[in-house]
């Protein structure tokens, strides 16, 4: 069927960034508003996009059985949250960014946002974070937080719970004020909390722009469901994020031995006073080398960043290239398991530690604009693996120790992580499926170049936490240990509320199938 | 000693010439250009781009004939409204290598302002 205003391609081999989904054929790869024909330009872009969505959703819903529709983002996710079948929607043309007209703000929001200088910005879901940083920066604004890198599209970024390590902010989705979901042909809903930030005029404006019937829906549960939606509540047309006045980040990276109590003061209770006398930083992150000997002075690197007013004109991030070629990284991935069986652990660990030391050094950081601090990735595409566990900071020291010990035990069997642990922190999320469940949380990311041992290493980390009796959740966009029982245990009634919200937003079985996924079914979330 | 060194130098130069000549004999070229039907202006400056990714500089050679050599595989560039991100020539030593072009993804126009009746200025 022809799709209006849509570029349609049949792909023979589609792979995600890290190749955890590899060379998948896609019969209908659909890019709304992806045509460059001048005839299309007579229709305004929002109308073109809405017409394209109408046709795509009609096509999927009317098929027998209904066809699953996957909207891709930056394609960085490693889990099967994005697991395409035959219909894929590429939202790259959904990239408009506009400040919300002040008359559409409620008095309550204006009063609450004033102290932090909050500025609501309506951003279409296909906007790349790098573009968003650029547009906001040029207007003297910035996001309050982001992921570690900027290649995501906004809708995918929030759908998987992507976060940074801004201690007072939380994840990106915790800075979202409203979400516009297209749930059926011609139908959309603007979700926001019951303590609404926007008058119905905002929904009316979206309706006037797009021609979609947009329902203003101030509802706490449905909004909290949409904050981390796993791509399963509808097509994310736009998101209103709260930007703040542009700022710079400035601070230091401090190397520490793993025996240094100052490291554990940070990891256990976010006490940075032993490293810097300034009050609590805006951002705290720790990198831990699991193979450093206890006395190695570079067993960990603590990054402390503070906010300050801009000292220079806005600038975007520098260009970045992958640190190594993908085929070189795959060669390393093949060689290291062999070397791990031939070389004694102390030699392997010395080699790996030397490589890590070469990449991280003590230094003053900044001043950097947020988009520079968290800019383009240098990871080689096509060979990445990662899992991330999240648990109560009250278990921080025990949890991190358990993971490091698990990695060392794996190393003694010749299984090495080709990466360094990334430790970040954040407060409880407001989202029903937000990974951060405790008042303050520790995120431990376990990234690696892929090897034949990576899965076993990941499983050892998860098992170490279970053995230590530490409840944990996992990053939705990374490889994870989640099961239906585990989701129920971790999220409790919030998981049931999320399912109920999904059924309210997508009342028919066909809608639920179109926006469904094997992961949802496996985890009891469909 | 000096004589021997000179002979050695000449021998190396001769060998290089042979290698170069053989190389030239096998040379294949790849031309990638715009659709000739889509005239957007006359040909302008010619730049030469070094391997390794350094900045391209003005090519000191001006020779219209270079664009019209035999043994040249010819490819037509796509229309990329926002420009070209990069061009990959796969298996460049093959007679007809694959050319893969990545367009720049158009981004937002800037931070817009909502208009009362819908749309953005």
Interface contact flag, A101 B110, Cβ < 8 Å: no
> Does residue A487 belong to any structural domain of this protein?
no
> Does residue A490 belong to any structural domain of this protein?
no
- In this structure, the answer to whether residues A238 and A255 fall within a common structural domain is no
> Does residue A106 belong to any structural domain of this protein?
yes
d(CA A400, CA A442): 9
pLDDT for A382-415, tens place per residue?
A: 888 999 999 999 999 999 999 999 999 999 999 9
- In this structure, the answer to whether residues A385 and A313 fall within a common structural domain is yes
Low-confidence ranges of chain A (pLDDT < 50): none
d(CA A251, CA B11): 60
Grade residue B65 by pLDDT with cuts at 50, 70 and 90.
confident
> Does residue A385 belong to any structural domain of this protein?
yes
CB-closest option in A92, A97, A104 to B111: A97
Residue B20 predicted with pLDDT over 50: no
Of chain B, the percentage scoring pLDDT greater than 70 comes to 78
In chain B, which residues have their Cβ closer than 8 Å to the Cβ of A127?
107-108
Q: Is any Cβ of chain B less than 8 angstroms from the Cβ of A225?
A: no
Nearest to A386 by CA among A425, A419, A416, A413: A419
Alpha helices in A360-492 (DSSP H): 370-373, 396-412, 454-467, 484-491
- In this structure, the answer to whether residues A383 and A302 fall within a common structural domain is yes
> Model ipTM?
0.77
- In this structure, the answer to whether residues A317 and A349 fall within a common structural domain is yes
- In this structure, the answer to whether residues A356 and A412 fall within a common structural domain is yes
- In this structure, the answer to whether residues A205 and A285 fall within a common structural domain is no
Q: A137 CA to chain B: closest CA distance, Å?
A: 10
CB-closest option in A92, A101, A141 to B114: A101
In chain A, which residues have their Cβ closer than 8 Å to the Cβ of B112?
96-99
d(CA A333, CA A336): 6
- In this structure, the answer to whether residues A193 and A256 fall within a common structural domain is no
Over B24-36, what HEC string results?
A: HHHCCEEEEECCC
Q: B61 CA to chain A: closest CA distance, Å?
A: 31
CB-closest option in A36, A92, A208 to B118: A208
Q: What is the pTM of this model?
A: 0.90
| Preferred mutation among B55, B114, B116, B117 to probe A, highest tally of A CBs within 10 A | B114
d(CA A188, CA A178): 13
> Does residue A337 belong to any structural domain of this protein?
yes
CB-closest option in A46, A96, A141 to B108: A96
In chain B, which residues have their Cβ closer than 8 Å to the Cβ of A45?
none
> Does residue A341 belong to any structural domain of this protein?
yes
Q: Which residues pair with A32 in a beta bridge?
A: A6
CATH number at residue A324: 3.40.462.10
CATH number at residue A10: 3.30.465.10
- In this structure, the answer to whether residues A176 and A272 fall within a common structural domain is no
> Does residue A488 belong to any structural domain of this protein?
no
In chain A, which residues have their Cβ closer than 8 Å to the Cβ of B108?
95-97, 127, 131-132, 135
- In this structure, the answer to whether residues A23 and A168 fall within a common structural domain is yes
Q: Count of domains in chain A?
A: 2
| Residue A447 in tokens | 């990234």
CB-closest option in A46, A128, A208 to B107: A128
Grade residue B26 by pLDDT with cuts at 50, 70 and 90.
very low
Interface contact flag, B111 A46, Cβ < 8 Å: no
Residue B18 predicted with pLDDT over 60: no
pLDDT for B34-62, tens place per residue?
A: 887 777 777 788 999 998 888 899 888 87
Interface contact flag, A95 B79, Cβ < 8 Å: no
Nearest Cα residue in chain A from B80: A36
Handedness of CA A491, A493, A499, A501 (dihedral sign): negative
Q: Under a CB-based contact definition with an 8 Å cutoff, are residues A32 and A48 in contact?
A: yes
- In this structure, the answer to whether residues A399 and A356 fall within a common structural domain is yes
Grade residue B71 by pLDDT with cuts at 50, 70 and 90.
confident
Q: Which pLDDT value is given to residue A435?
A: 96
> Does residue A1 belong to any structural domain of this protein?
no
- In this structure, the answer to whether residues A331 and A436 fall within a common structural domain is yes
- In this structure, the answer to whether residues A264 and A305 fall within a common structural domain is yes
Interface contact flag, A97 B113, Cβ < 8 Å: no
Q: Under a CB-based contact definition with an 8 Å cutoff, are residues A6 and A52 in contact?
A: yes
Q: A394: domain range?
A: 248-481
């Amino acid at each position: 069927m022809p799709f209006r205003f849509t570029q349609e391609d049949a792909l023979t081999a589609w792979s995600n960034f890290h190749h955890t989904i590899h060379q998948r054929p896609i019969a209908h790869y659909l890019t709304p508003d992806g045509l460059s024909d001048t005839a299309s330009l007579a229709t305004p872009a929002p109308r073109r996009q809405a017409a394209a969505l109408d046709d795509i959703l009609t096509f999927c819903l009317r098929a027998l059985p209904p066809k699953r529709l996957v909207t891709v983002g930056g394609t960085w996710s490693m889990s099967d949250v994005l697991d395409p079948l035959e219909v894929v929607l590429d939202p790259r043309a959904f990239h408009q960014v506009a400040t919300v007209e002040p008359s559409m703000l409620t008095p309550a929001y204006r009063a609450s946002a004033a102290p932090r200088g909050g500025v609501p910005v309506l951003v279409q879901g296909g906007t790349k974070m790098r573009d968003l940083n650029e547009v906001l920066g040029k207007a003297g604004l910035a996001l309050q937080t982001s992921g570690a890198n900027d290649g995501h599209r906004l809708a995918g970024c929030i759908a998987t719970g992507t976060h940074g390590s801004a201690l007072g902010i939380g994840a990106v989705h915790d800075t979202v004020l409203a979400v516009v979901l297209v749930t059926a042909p011609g139908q959309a809903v603007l979700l926001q909390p019951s303590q609404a930030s926007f008058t119905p005029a905002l929904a009316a404006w979206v309706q006037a722009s797009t021609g979609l019937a947009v329902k203003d829906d101030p509802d706490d549960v449905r909004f909290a469901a949409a904050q981390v939606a796993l791509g399963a509540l509808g097509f994310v047309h736009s998101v209103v994020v709260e930007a703040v006045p542009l700022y710079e980040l400035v601070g230091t990276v401090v190397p520490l031995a793993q025996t240094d109590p100052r490291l554990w003061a940070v990891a256990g209770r976010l006490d940075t006073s032993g490293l810097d006398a300034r009050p609590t930083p805006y951002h705290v992150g720790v990198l831990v080398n699991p193979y450093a000997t206890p006395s190695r002075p570079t067993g960990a690197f603590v990054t402390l960043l503070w906010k300050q007013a801009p000292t220079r004109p806005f600038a975007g991030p520098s260009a970045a290239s992958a640190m190594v070629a993908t085929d070189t990284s795959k060669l390393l991935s093949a060689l290291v398991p062999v070397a791990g069986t031939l070389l004694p652990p102390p030699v392997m660990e010395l080699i790996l530690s030397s490589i890590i030391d070469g990449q991280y050094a003590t230094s003053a950081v900044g001043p950097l604009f947020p988009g520079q601090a968290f800019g383009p990735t240098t990871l080689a595409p096509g060979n990445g693996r990662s899992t991330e566990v999240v648990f109560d900071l009250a278990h921080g020291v025990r949890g991190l120790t358990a993971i490091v010990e698990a990695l060392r035990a794996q190393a003694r069997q010749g299984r090495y992580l080709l990466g360094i642990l990334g430790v970040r922190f954040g407060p409880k999320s407001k989202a029903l499926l937000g990974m951060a469940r405790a008042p303050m949380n520790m995120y431990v990311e376990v990234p690696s170049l892929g090897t034949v041992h990576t899965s076993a290493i990941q499983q050892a980390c998860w098992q170490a936490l279970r053995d230590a009796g530490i409840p944990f959740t996992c990053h939705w966009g990374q490889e994870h240990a989640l099961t239906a029982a585990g989701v129920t245990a971790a999220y409790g009634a919030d998981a049931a509320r999320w399912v109920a919200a999904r059924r309210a937003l997508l009342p028919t079985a066909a809608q639920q199938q179109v926006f469904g996924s094997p992961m949802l079914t496996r985890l009891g979330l469909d | 000693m000096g004589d021997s060194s000179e002979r050695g130098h000449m021998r190396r130069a001769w060998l290089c010439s042979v290698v170069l000549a053989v190389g030239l004999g096998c040379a294949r070229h790849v031309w990638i250009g715009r659709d000739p039907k889509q005239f957007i202006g006359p040909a302008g400056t010619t730049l030469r781009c070094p391997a390794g990714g350094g900045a391209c500089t003005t090519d000191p050679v001006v020779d219209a004939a270079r664009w019209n050599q035999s043994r040249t595989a010819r490819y037509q560039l796509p229309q990329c409204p926002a420009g070209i991100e990069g061009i990959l020539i796969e298996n460049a030593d093959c007679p007809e290598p694959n050319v893969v072009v990545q367009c720049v993804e158009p981004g937002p126009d800037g931070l817009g302002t909502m208009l009362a009746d819908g749309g953005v200025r």
